[in-house]
Amino acid sequence: MYHGDIRLGDTIDVKFTTVNTSGVPTTLAGTPVVSAYPDNSLTEITAGITLTVDFDARTGLHNVRVVATGANGYLTATNYELVITTGTVGGSSVVGYVVGSFSVEKRSALMPTTAARTLAVEADNMAHADLKEWLGVAPNALIAGRPDVDLGTSRTNSVIAGAIVTNGIDANILAASAVDKVVDQVWDELMSAHVASGSYGQRLQGVRSGTAQAGAAGSITLDSGASATTDYYKGSLVFLTSGTGSGQSQRLITAYNSTTKVATITPAWAVVPDATSVFIILPAGIASLEAWLGTVPLALVAQRVEARASAMTASLITATEAPNLDAAITTRLAPTVAGRTLDVAVGGEAGLDWANIGAPTTAQNLSGTNIDVDQVVASVSGAVASVTADVGITQAGADKVWLSASRTLTAFSTALALSVWDVLETAILTVGSLGKKLKDSITEARLAELDAANLPTDVAGVQADTDNIQTRLPAALVGGRMDSDVEAINNNTAVIARLVDSLGTLQRFTIDNGVFVATTTQAQVDAVTPGVLEATTDHYKGRIILFLDGALQYQATDITAYDGTNKRFTYTALTEAPADNGLFLVI
């Protein structure tokens, strides 16, 4: 029995029945094997074939599953017969019995791209296409009885100019977005595809475009494929279209180094390009002064060409225009007093005659002017009314203020010294300066302490207290400490009782690192240590530990927790962990 045409890689199941001579379904025995024979080949295939005898516990019903992959040896455009190559039924051999057949992509004229899909053919013999299955999504509503098709999803060259009738597509049936796409496609066309002589595409061609390697304020390093000819791009304009500095345009290339690929530009970049900057070089419609004048022009003066009247051609300035030109020059250079001239030095500098300054007795604004004191021959006569801005004082000037005792100060120096001492303390803020240190030391509180009304009283009080100190000290000190005699309190039973009570609260323990190694925050005591070991958790919490020996001798800390089961203390961190067998008191 033929079981159909499948695709390479599909899995197919074939069922068959074995019976005895009486026609009763009987088990296929004898370690049965089913093999696949391709077309007329003598080479059988067993890979990918699984035989299930007595399928679903039905005696005599068997299932053959075939995984028809290329890896298992199956090929397209091939027929396969499934044959029992080992097995018996009722004691008789059934080798050679054909149980089914199939083909791999050989007999079906239409093979679905997705398994199990079928093609519906109507009574009019027309096969209907399911747009939803074709597009993967439900199509838009029909437009004029036709589906709305997005050409962007069509395969390459599926719609060509020859397939569209004249006026088949016009602006009326194109959506705005479609028009935008057509426009975008026109402007996004590669330049290399439009070089036909005389075309607008050729006319609009840039000299070169690419991504820069680097940049500087007055240059840009073109891509490595730029021209190998020096000054090849000289006279062209360079634009930055994207990346760093994007939007900067109309920089004139004044030189080009073909080795380094560096193009020198003017004016300088506002934002310096880098390796992300994309550039385009366009030919500039500029006039060559050299070609116009017939000679190399002089260097630019203030970014303008230096023009000489003597070089002008005859009648370039007519008699009618000359008076206007003369009047303009005369107005701009006319002296305020007749007969005065402008002294111009060889270097081109115009001299300034202080004697000819208008109204020299009035105040002059010399802001931004440096006056070299080395040029003062003798002295400045008269007084300076005021100085409204800061005056820079050198170290020598400062020495005159602070070492005035050994120097003779002029009237100016004396006034300057007075100004130093009259500075308000709120203006002295520089940390580390002598003025700041004096300000911080001489406070109102310190001055109050030195006030004549308080100082004598305070001194008298200190003296009286000192005179009386002997009456409040014992007759003699022992080792710098007062000698306290316990017998002095032996008649005070209340004191003795409180002393005995306090001693009774002290407990001495020994550190045991055998079970738990002590840390800076925890320690466990010896089970046989002297003292009472409480079993109640947190019994010692809040009390004080005082270490009696070792590196922690006389160091104390507070108990924050106590484990009554393990006899373990938790306490505020020590400087180091207690040593084994170290002694401490719980106070």
**Domain residue spans in the chain?**
2-104, 207-287, 402-440, 503-586
How many helices, marked H, and strands, marked E, lie in the chain? 11, 23
Beta strand segments in 354-422, E: none
Query: Parallel, antiparallel, or unpaired for β 78-89 and 98-104?
Result: antiparallel
- In angstroms and rounded to an integer, the radius of gyration of the C-alpha atoms of the chain is 56
pLDDT top residue among 266 and 364:
266
Inform me whether the pLDDT recorded for 237 exceeds 50: yes
Closest-CA residue to 86 (of 75, 96, 74): 96
Residue 296 has pLDDT above 90, yes or no: no
pLDDT at 336 (0 to 100): 72
Return the top range by mean pLDDT from 29-38, 122-131, 545-554. Answer: 29-38
Range of 258-262, 386-390, 402-406, 490-494 with top mean pLDDT: 258-262
Banded model confidence at residue 4, pLDDT cuts 50, 70, 90:
very high
Give the containing element (helix H, strand E) for 242.
strand 237-242
**Confidence band of 358 (pLDDT split at 50, 70, 90):** low
3-state secondary structure 431-445: CCCHHHHHHHHCCHH
Q: Is residue 402 over pLDDT 60?
A: no
Quote the pTM value. Answer: 0.27
pLDDT recorded at residue 459: 76
Cβ neighbors of 330 (< 8 A, separation 6 or more) are: none
| Residue 367 scores a pLDDT above 70 | no
User: How many C-beta neighbours within 10 Å does residue 435 have?
Assistant: 14
Q: What is the pLDDT of residues 96-144, one digit of tens each?
A: 999 999 999 998 767 666 666 666 777 776 776 666 666 667 777 666 6
Per-residue pLDDT for 64 more than 80? Answer: yes
Task: Give CA–CA dist 135/127, Å, rounded.
Answer: 17
Q: Mean pLDDT throughout 558-564?
A: 94
Q: Taking the mean position of all CA atoms in its chain, how far away is CA 438?
A: 49
Q: Give pLDDT, residue 444.
A: 77
Contacts of 586 (CB under 8 A, 6+ apart): 506, 507, 508, 509, 531, 540, 543, 544, 545, 559
- State the pLDDT at residue 378: 46
17-31, 124-138, 510-524: lowest mean pLDDT where? Answer: 124-138
With contact defined as beta carbons under 8 Å apart, do 233 and 281 qualify?
A: yes
Q: Kindly tell me if the per-residue pLDDT of 443 is higher than 90.
A: no
What is the mean predicted confidence (pLDDT) over 58-73?
97
Query: Cβ distance 31 to 82 under 8 Å?
Result: no
- Decide which of 278 and 192 is more confident: 278
The confidence score (pLDDT) of residue 415 equals 64
Are the beta carbons of 264 and 255 closer than 8 angstroms? yes
In this prediction, residue 407 carries a pLDDT of: 45
Decide: 224 and 210 in contact? Cβ < 8 Å: no
Highest mean pLDDT, choosing among 78-92, 193-207, 333-347, 382-396: 78-92
Residue 63, φ and ψ in degrees, nearest 5: -125, 135
In whole angstroms, what is the distance from residue 194 CA to residue 202 CA? Answer: 6
Q: What is the pLDDT of residue 409?
A: 44
**CA torsion, points 152, 158, 163, 165, in degrees to nearest 10?**
-10
* Pick among 2.60.40, 1.10.730, 3.40.1000, 1.20.120: CATH of 2-104: 2.60.40
Topology of domain 503-586, per CATH?
Answer: Thrombin, subunit H (2.40.10)
- Decide if 207 contacts 256 (C-beta within 8 A): no
Distance, in Å, from the CA atom of 58 to the CA atom of 425, rounded to the nearest integer, reads: 112
pLDDT digits (tens, 9 = 90+) for 445-488: 777 766 655 667 777 777 777 776 666 666 556 665 666 655 55
Among 207, 286, 213, CA closest to 239: 207
pLDDT at 71 over 50: yes
**Helix, strand or coil for residue 12?**
strand
Most confident of 62-71, 105-114, 517-526, 547-556: 62-71
Q: What mean pLDDT comes out for the span 207-217?
A: 94
pLDDT of 334: 66
User: 385 CB contacts (<8 Å, ≥6 apart)?
Assistant: none
345: pLDDT strictly greater than 60: yes
CB-neighbour burial class of residue 240 (10 A; exposed 0-12, middle 13-18, buried 19+): buried
Q: For residue 490, what pLDDT is reported?
A: 55
Q: What is the pLDDT of residue 313?
A: 57
Q: Identical fold at 2-104 and 503-586?
A: no
Higher model confidence: residue 443 or residue 384? 443
Q: Poorest-confidence range of 327-341, 504-518, 521-535, 570-584? A: 327-341
Could you tell me whether strands 98-104 and 2-6 are parallel, antiparallel, or unpaired per DSSP bridges?
Answer: parallel
Residue 411 is predicted with a pLDDT of 52
pLDDT reported for residue 302 = 58
Decide if pLDDT at 376 tops 70: no
Output the average pLDDT for the chain. 78
